Structure 1
Amino acid sequence: MNVPDLPAELVDLIGQYEFAFLVSIGDLGPHTTPQHPTLTGGSFTITAPGPVTCRNITANPAVTLLWPPSTSDGHALIIDGHATLRDYTLEIAPTLAVLHHTATSTATSRRCADCRRFNLAPPAQLTRLGQLPRTGS
């Protein structure tokens, strides 16, 4: 999969977080592990993922990286992508990214001026990965 470089704003945001949770899906449901993904150009690398993650990726390459907020009122960074396992190294091509505020118990449906959405793959590629509904006939 051709992975273009990420937007500079997104790269800056990623640099503000300490670690991410990698979420993969397997026969038993979601599997979450804390990771330190390395960003190179437009893709992420995770070395030595565990055996459950490897099994899940082999069966279903759709993954999510979630960088939690550092404060209770901060923003989480969520990146969906397509993972490939090569020589016990996970390569993740990001497709969608969202910087999202943390909801509070007193918050009602509010829009955050600091929230951002990044479409990182062409629409045809997103449709193929099942991340956008098909349109037309």
Structure 2
Amino acid sequence: MSIPVDLADLDRTLADFDAGYLLTTSDERVKAVSVAPDLVDGVLVARSPGRGSCANVAANPQATVLFPPRLALGFTLLVDGTAEVDGDDVRLTPTSAVLHKSVGGAA
């Protein structure tokens, strides 16, 4: 089950989640690193996610931040967007967001 999140409500939705994972890609694989991004003027700012993530973003700006549920079988928040490197940080401008729960998850 998926529920689209209005990007105008992203700050309110993020209040229900803790740290997430920045997902970037290289030619070889997906790289996942733990981040606690701040939402600044509609942009998720991941502070110092590491050189590998920054290199991936420089080569392919499409990225996702996955926020797992706080409770088992809760909703996962997926925020897709276009990322850019800003010094040691990655700034992701969201293009879409969705709350996702597996079919077997409790309501």
Give the TM-score category using the shorter length.
Answer: 0.7 to 0.9
In terms of fraction of residues, the more strand-rich structure is: 2
User: How many equivalent pairs are there?
Assistant: 101
Query: Residue 95 of structure 1 corresponds to which residue in structure 2?
Result: 95
Q: Which has the larger radius of gyration?
A: 1
8 A Cα contact 1:47 1:89, kept in partner: yes
Query: What SS class does the counterpart of residue 48 from structure 1 fall into?
Result: coil
Deviation of 1:84 (Å) = 0.6
Identity of aligned pairs, percent? 30
Q: CA RMSD in A?
A: 1.8
Deviation of 1:104 (Å) = 2.1
Q: Which runs of 5+ in 2 are unaligned?
A: 1-6
Deviation of 1:13 (Å) = 1.2
TM-score by length of 2: 0.85
**One-letter amino acid matched to 1:29:** R
TM-score by length of 1: 0.68
1:126-137 correspondence runs (5 A): none
Query: What SS class does the counterpart of residue 16 from structure 1 fall into?
Result: coil
**One-letter amino acid matched to 2:42:** G
Q: Which runs of 5+ in 1 are unaligned?
A: 1-5, 113-137
Q: d(CA) in 2 for partners of 1:101 and 1:52?
A: 29
Deviation of 1:60 (Å) = 0.3
Q: Which runs of 4+ in 1 moved over 4 A?
A: none
**One-letter amino acid matched to 1:83:** A
Query: Residue 125 of structure 1 corresponds to which residue in structure 2?
Result: none
Deviation of 1:76 (Å) = 0.4
Q: d(CA) in 2 for partners of 1:23 and 1:35?
A: 10
Query: Residue 7 of structure 1 corresponds to which residue in structure 2?
Result: 8
Q: d(CA) in 2 for partners of 1:52 and 1:35?
A: 14
1:82 aligns with 2:82: yes
Deviation of 1:40 (Å) = 1.0
**One-letter amino acid matched to 2:80:** D
Deviation of 1:49 (Å) = 1.8
Deviation of 1:11 (Å) = 1.6
Query: What SS class does the counterpart of residue 57 from structure 1 fall into?
Result: helix
8 A Cα contact 2:80 2:95, kept in partner: yes
Query: Residue 27 of structure 1 corresponds to which residue in structure 2?
Result: 27
Deviation of 1:34 (Å) = 0.8
Query: Residue 115 of structure 1 corresponds to which residue in structure 2?
Result: none
